[in-house]
Amino acid sequence: MGELSKKIGEHGERVVLEFLKMIGWAAPGDGETLQCNKPEKHAKKERSPRTTHGIDLFFPHKSQLEDFTISNAIISVKYTSKAYPNPPNNKFKEHIADLSQTIECFARSELRDQSNREYEGLGIRKSNDTGVLFWFSGDRDSEQDVIGKVSGVILDKELDFSSIQVIDNARAAFIYNSIVTARRIYDTSELNFHYSFNSSNYTDQSIEKYGKILPLEYITSPIIPMRLIDKSNGKQKFCISTIENFSEDAMKRLLNFASDISQDFSQEFIFIFTQYDELEDKTIVNKCIRSLGERASLFDVKVHCSNGDFRGLVNEQ
């Protein structure tokens, strides 16, 4: 049983590593061990003080959405060949507690200091420590959206962390399908993630408008904005993938959003929905385009449906 658990864990980490590569989080640190600064508080068993915390993966990177900021992603990988537990509440709280305690001790660690020192020459003023929990099930018949089931869970008030992002099967599938669909249909274009500009990231001149790294802030977002840049002429298309199913309301909202923020680089829009039927929904798309009034003739709009399975990123044993 112990050997089987080890193989399952190793497989899960390979899936996550391939997933991270796809979103530009290349070469994360792995297998880091931290000294526990609160051995009694973090003890797993009574009268058994904790001495260390393990970090499965660690990805520090310069934020493109916040001025002069480093994002330290402390990643925990939880993979099971079985279905998600039903109900998942207790196991979820266990995973969050473990990651929260790791983040708490990471804040005072040499690893954090070392990571921040690597970016000193970029004028960095602060760093954000964010936990990322990848909680995957290899059971294809399992309920995939486990996060929806734990949204009302009340966590222990003693847990000390600023933010933890949780990626379950459904969320990973959305991100994977968004990227794969865009690359498959527009295979002559180079895919980049679009970085929005706002009051939090307008003074740092080193911040890019787009790039290969999916921002940590996007990893649980309901939309993923992308730029597809033609490899031959550099022409850009603005692509938005949404976790929503197609509807007239969703189409109108995304069309207005795209037209508002892409004026300076593209008037070609691509929308990817989790469900879309060309025969049934094309008339609704045209209706939404007409609702733009005089601006309707300015834009070239295409709509697609996503599909795929992120667990195929590596061959399952």
Residues 15 and 145 in one domain: yes
pLDDT score, position 22: 96
Residues 108 and 257 in one domain: no
Residues 206 and 298 in one domain: yes
User: If we measure between CA atoms, which residue out of 105, 16, 89 comes closest to residue 53?
Assistant: 105
**Hey, is 293 helix, strand or coil?**
helix
Locate all alpha helices (DSSP H) within the chain, ordered by sequence: 2-22, 89-106, 110-117, 169-185, 248-261, 278-290
From first to last of the 317 residues of the chain, give the pLDDT tens digit: 455 566 666 787 888 999 999 999 999 999 899 999 999 999 987 778 999 999 999 999 999 999 999 999 999 999 988 999 999 999 999 999 999 999 999 999 999 999 999 988 888 999 999 999 999 998 887 778 999 999 888 888 888 899 999 999 999 999 999 999 999 999 999 999 999 888 788 889 889 999 999 999 999 999 999 999 999 999 999 999 999 999 999 999 999 999 988 878 999 999 999 999 999 999 999 999 999 888 889 899 999 998 655 655 554 33
pLDDT score, position 74: 97
Residues 23 and 162 in one domain: yes
Residues 137 and 204 in one domain: no
User: If we measure between CA atoms, which residue out of 301, 294, 293, 298 comes closest to residue 251?
Assistant: 301
Q: Domain for residue 77, yes or no?
A: yes
Boundary of a domain, candidates 167, 201, 232: 167
**Which tokens is 90 given?**
């207790």
Q: Domain for residue 218, yes or no?
A: yes
Q: Domain for residue 59, yes or no?
A: yes
Q: Domain for residue 225, yes or no?
A: yes
- 68's torsion region: left (phi>0), alpha (psi -120 to 50) or beta? left
Residues 148 and 180 in one domain: no
Boundary of a domain, candidates 145, 167, 189: 167
**Which tokens is 284 given?**
């609704």
Structural domain that includes position 15? 2-167
Residues 195 and 294 in one domain: yes
Give the distance from CA 22 to its chain's centroid: 11
**Which tokens is 184 given?**
């498959």
Number of continuous H segments (helices) and E segments (strands) in the chain: 6, 11
Q: Report the number of distinct structural domains present in the chain.
A: 2
Q: Domain for residue 316, yes or no?
A: no
Instruction: Report the relative pairing of strands 52-62 and 189-194 from DSSP bridges.
Output: unpaired
Q: How many CA atoms lie within 13 A of 226 on its CB side?
A: 28
Give dist(CA 186, CA 38) in Å, integer: 51
Residues 140 and 237 in one domain: no
Residues 105 and 141 in one domain: yes
Residues 148 and 34 in one domain: yes
Residues 227 and 189 in one domain: yes
Locate all alpha helices (DSSP H) within 147-305, ordered by sequence: 169-185, 248-261, 278-290
Q: Domain for residue 86, yes or no?
A: yes
Boundary of a domain, candidates 167, 190, 209: 167
Q: Domain for residue 95, yes or no?
A: yes
Q: Domain for residue 303, yes or no?
A: yes
Residues 224 and 109 in one domain: no
